[in-house]
Amino acid sequence: MVIGLDTGFFVALLKGSPEAIKVWEMLVDGKQNAVVSCITLLELQRLQRLGTIKRTGILVDAIMAVCRVEWLDNARVLTLGARLANDLGIPVVDALVLASFADTKCKAIYTTDAHLELYAKKAKGVNIINLSRGDG
């Protein structure tokens, strides 16, 4: 099973969330496969500039080494993102992250963003684990 990791997952990881650490260790050990949207790389850099997190370079390198990064370079994902933004009434950035996960058929998505939970109602068989509420 492929899992999706939203930006909030990495913020939770940096804050020491036990569930995020457990998931990351499974990825590093090769026991799980994960997809990360390229938008997460952008959002992590922005959070560093805002002072929310420190030194994203090592984290981005680790993501690139351990996860599959989905780039927004095809019309299929962009069209799906537009549809999700419209249908779910969520910000386009969140919809593009979800489109990356949907395109790679993720069955579980780790996040701290309540917007992404709306997707579970639309996509049967997808589990949204909200780390900010301890759903994991």
* Amino acid at residue number 70: E
CB atoms within 10 A of CB 129: 22
Residue 86 has pLDDT above 60, yes or no: yes
| pTM of the predicted structure, to 2 decimals | 0.92
Residue 134 has pLDDT above 70, yes or no: no
Residues 36-67: tens digit of each pLDDT: 999 999 999 999 999 888 878 899 999 999 99
Task: Please state, in angstroms and rounded to a whole number, the distance separating the CA atoms of residues 62 and 75.
Answer: 28
Cα dihedral angle (115, 7, 112, 80), rounded to 10 degrees? 30
CATH code, residues 2-130? 3.40.50.1010
Identify the residue whose tokens are 């949204």.
128
- At how many degrees (to 10) do helices 114-122 and 75-88 cross? 100
pLDDT for residue 56? 83
* Amino acid at residue number 1: M
33-37 vs 68-70, strand pairing mode: parallel
Structural domain boundaries in the chain: 2-130
- Higher-confidence residue of 34 and 115: namely 34
- Token representation of residue 116: 């992404």
